[in-house]
Structure 1
Amino acid sequence: MKNQINDSRKEIILHTARDLLIKNGFAKTTLDDIANAIGMKKSSLYYYYSNKDSLFDDIMMREEKYFCSLVAEALKKSETAIDKIISYEKAKFEYVKDTLKLHEMSTSIILKLKIKMFDHIKSIQGKEIEMIKKILDEGIMNKEIKMCDTKKLQRLS
């Protein structure tokens, strides 16, 4: 029971912090801001996160898992390689549209977050490349796509 409470509290912290980071950027979002938005003391946040960087890393790992699960679910609904590629791109577009809310972010916040997220972005891109390669390999195996160098082709995506 206590773990469920901690998990739900952590989800609230992650969700609130993510929204504040999108709105204000990393540099202008403080642990005080996050604690105040949730209605808890800053010292209580330290039970879950030792600093803002560890909270940010947790947010990014959560987003990465969420993105990959959305794409995986979309791919399950498709049978052919072409349908899978279309489903993949639609899922990716929907994720960006619904999750990042770029219209609410200033260009400077986007650039600053991109720099902060560089390692996480590289990890997500690596997973995307593997997903695309798998789709292409299956398409070749099922004779939907002509034989090609899928490693080279996956990097074009």
Structure 2
Amino acid sequence: MLAENKDEMREKILEAALKRFMHYGASKTTMNEIADDLRCSKASLYYYFSDKKALHNAVLMKIGETFFEEQEIEADKDISSEQIFTNIIAIKKQFVERYSRLELFKILNDKSEEIQQIIRSVHEREAKMLTKIIEKGVASGEFDVDDPVAIAQLYRDAMEGLRFAGMSCLPETIPDLDKEAFEKIVAQQKLLTEIFVRGIKKR
């Protein structure tokens, strides 16, 4: 099989799994069902993914990459850093609403070294992006910050705290998102961002 055909097949498996997981949830989807959707053997799936957990993680990594790319594109826009922070909250909100049935937060309970390394990489990527946004604000005269790296880390940690505080509204399995609780978290993130930006604005 040609390398490009292998890559194409892997992408087809990921797309089929994503469609199933979003509709039925990962826990209620079988490898047989994904194979049937693709009209291939289950053995073909195991050629690319060792088990359903590996496939689920690969799907999460795929949509996670798109998620970060959207934020990084926003961070590069020629608008105020304050507006970028606000727009990124909107991107995150849309992402969770779209993929809430995908059992996004199961991965956070996976203590394997492989997954923990991925989570650390995600945190580093987010901190780097936030640092860039703050540095942009400093360069434009919008912010007065001596240590953009430390301030970016502080903001990331604070936002992370709000996410974890409200994780009860984020389903690990098929039940739908608790929209009222989720909207409360988003409102808190917006308020936190408003207070944070006000604190670092140049006077």
> Which TM-score applies when normalising by structure 2?
0.61
Conserved 8 A contact 2:75-2:129: no
Conserved 8 A contact 2:71-2:91: yes
Q: Which residue of 2 aligns with 1:59?
A: 59
Amino acid in structure 2 at the alignment position of 1:86:
T
Conserved 8 A contact 1:133-1:154: no
1:136 corresponds to which of 131, 134, 137:
134
> Which stretch shifts more, 79-88 or 68-77?
79-88
1:1-157 matches, within 5 Å, as 2-97=2-97, 99-100=98-99, 102=100, 105=101, 110=103, 113-114=104-105, 116-118=106-108, 122-123=119-120, 124-147=122-145, 150=151, 151-157=153-159
Segments of 5+ residues of structure 1 without an aligned counterpart are none
Over residues 50-106 of structure 1, what are the superposed CA-to-partner deviations in whole Å (9 max), with x where a residue is unaligned? Answer: 211221221122122111111112222233212322332233333334x41x4xx4x
Residues 1:122 and 1:46: Cα distance change in structure 2 (over 3 Å): closer
RMSD value over aligned CA atoms? 2.7
Amino acid in structure 2 at the alignment position of 1:154:
R
| Shift in Å, 1:152 | 2.1
Aligned partners of 2:124, 2:18: CA distance in 1, in Å?
23
| Shift in Å, 1:3 | 2.1
Aligned partners of 1:70, 1:155: CA distance in 2, in Å?
21
Conserved 8 A contact 1:78-1:87: no
Conserved 8 A contact 1:75-1:87: no
| Shift in Å, 1:146 | 2.9
Amino acid in structure 2 at the alignment position of 1:147:
V
Amino acid in structure 2 at the alignment position of 1:73:
I
Aligned partners of 1:49, 1:154: CA distance in 2, in Å?
33
| Shift in Å, 1:11 | 1.1
Conserved 8 A contact 1:74-1:91: no
> Which stretch shifts more, 87-96 or 56-65?
87-96
Conserved 8 A contact 2:75-2:84: yes
Residues 1:21 and 1:78: Cα distance change in structure 2 (over 3 Å): same
